[in-house]
Amino acid sequence: MRIVSYNVRYFAHGLKGLASTGSMKRRISDALHAVRPLPDVICLQEIEARSIRSGVAYRDHNGDNQLQAFLRYLAESFTREGEAMPYDSYYFPAHTYRVGKVRIYTTGLAVLVHRETLRVIDDNQKAPHSITHYGAEWLKPAKQTRICAHLHVEDGRGKRFHVFNTHLSLPSVFAREFWREERRMGHGRNQISEAEALVRYVDERARGEPFILGGDFNSGPASPVYRFLTEKARLVGAQEALAHLDLSNPEHFCTAGFLNLRMHLDHLFGVKVRWVDLEETRAFGDPKSRFFGLSDHAPLIARFELE
């Protein structure tokens, strides 16, 4: 089977993150459609619902929320090639920033499932699990909620496994270590706390069955968060298993960029799965990638087998 994990930056990369645009939805749709063989699961981070940011520069929405609008573009990508749209979508709302009743912007996750290869048994989209570390009580009202999305799925042979999608917080600027560490991504105590909450939830829902965990972890390889997930929680990283990264060199393969900074923040983990390949996964900023210039992150694209 094949999985994609991709932070799409609210389809707003064309306007530097300020507002979602139709052109970004179309270009990302075309890029995902071109991935062959088609992914069985697509995990997306930074997906909006409805807000000023999602609609101020995007007029052709017909009342759709951001995911619905994106799915229309994705369906058009298939239709142009005489193909049927094969994906069912699941949206997991995380947080809403509002002034009074006006939604300034929202945050969330989404998972697309190929209905011809997988059947969804259960999901938590009505009540996504919060893994948020709030820290000081006075920060709680302003802290962005972080969640873990979950799907329990079954393949055509009746084998069941779990799909988890998440997006961890940035390291807290209010912690002393933020200003002491040269490399900060994945070193925040708040991030470690969220990683611990994430693993507890994943273990509780998976109950010993195989699972895949993808997302934007805002944590580099060999960081305390990454070490906790791979050493203590015993999750197997796809890139590490396939010798796709060098843990001694965090900048060896970067998945995200900001101005001149290049960082490795995105990961795919698994338990009771064998990672097969990372074909079409390219580093952020690689002009040969079909996803070049579409987001401030690059997607991870991997094939795996259930043990």
Domains, the chain, ordered by start: 2-306 (3.60.10.10)
Q: What is the dihedral of CA 284, 285, 289, 294, to 10 degrees?
A: 90
pLDDT for the residue numbered 247: 83
pLDDT for the residue numbered 58: 65
pLDDT for the residue numbered 274: 98
Measured CA to CA, the distance from residue 158 to residue 140 in angstroms comes to 43
Measured CA to CA, the distance from residue 228 to residue 264 in angstroms comes to 16
Measured CA to CA, the distance from residue 251 to residue 36 in angstroms comes to 28
pLDDT for the residue numbered 185: 87
Task: Please return the burial class of 96, using the count of CB atoms within 10 Å of its CB with bins 0-12, 13-18 and 19+.
Answer: middle
The letter for the amino acid at 212 is I
Residue 267 has pLDDT above 80, yes or no: yes
**Mean pLDDT of all residues belonging to the chain:** 91
Residues above pLDDT 90, as percent of the chain: 73
pLDDT-based confidence at residue 179 (cuts at 50, 70, 90): very low
pLDDT for the residue numbered 289: 97
pLDDT per position as a tens digit, 13-42: 989 888 888 999 999 999 999 999 999 999
Work out the average pLDDT over 115-123.
98
Task: Lowest mean pLDDT of 46-60, 63-77, 214-228, name the range.
Answer: 46-60
Count of residues for the chain?
Answer: 307
Measured CA to CA, the distance from residue 19 to residue 14 in angstroms comes to 8
The letter for the amino acid at 80 is R
Q: How many CB atoms are located within 10 Å of the residue 75 CB?
A: 17
Task: Please return the burial class of 298, using the count of CB atoms within 10 Å of its CB with bins 0-12, 13-18 and 19+.
Answer: buried
pLDDT-based confidence at residue 2 (cuts at 50, 70, 90): very high
The reply to whether the predicted model has a pTM over 0.75 is yes
Beta-carbon-side half-sphere exposure of residue 292 (alpha carbons within 13 Å): 9
DSSP string across the chain: -EEEEEE-GGG-GGGTTSS--HHHHHHHHHHHHT-SSPPSEEEEES---SSHHHHSS--TTTT--HHHHHHHHHHHHHHHTT----EEEEEEEEEEEEETTEEEEEEEEEEEEETTTEEEEEE-TTSPEE-----SGGGGGGSPP-EEEEEEEEETTS-EEEEEEEEPPPPPTTSHHHHH-SS-TTT-HHHHHHHHHHHHHHHHHHTTS-EEEEEE-S--TTSHHHHIIIIIS--EEHHHHTT-S-TT-TTSS--EEETTEEE--EEEEEESEEEEE-TT---TT-TTSTTTTSSSB--EEEEEEE-
Work out the average pLDDT over 276-281.
97
Work out the average pLDDT over 43-58.
79
Measured CA to CA, the distance from residue 11 to residue 141 in angstroms comes to 26
pLDDT for the residue numbered 246: 83
Residue 180 has pLDDT above 60, yes or no: no
Among 137-146, 148-157, 254-263, the range with the most confident prediction by mean pLDDT is: 148-157
Greater pLDDT, 96 or 253: 253
Task: Lowest mean pLDDT of 169-173, 177-181, 235-239, 250-254, name the range.
Answer: 177-181
Sign of CA dihedral 163, 241, 302, 266: positive
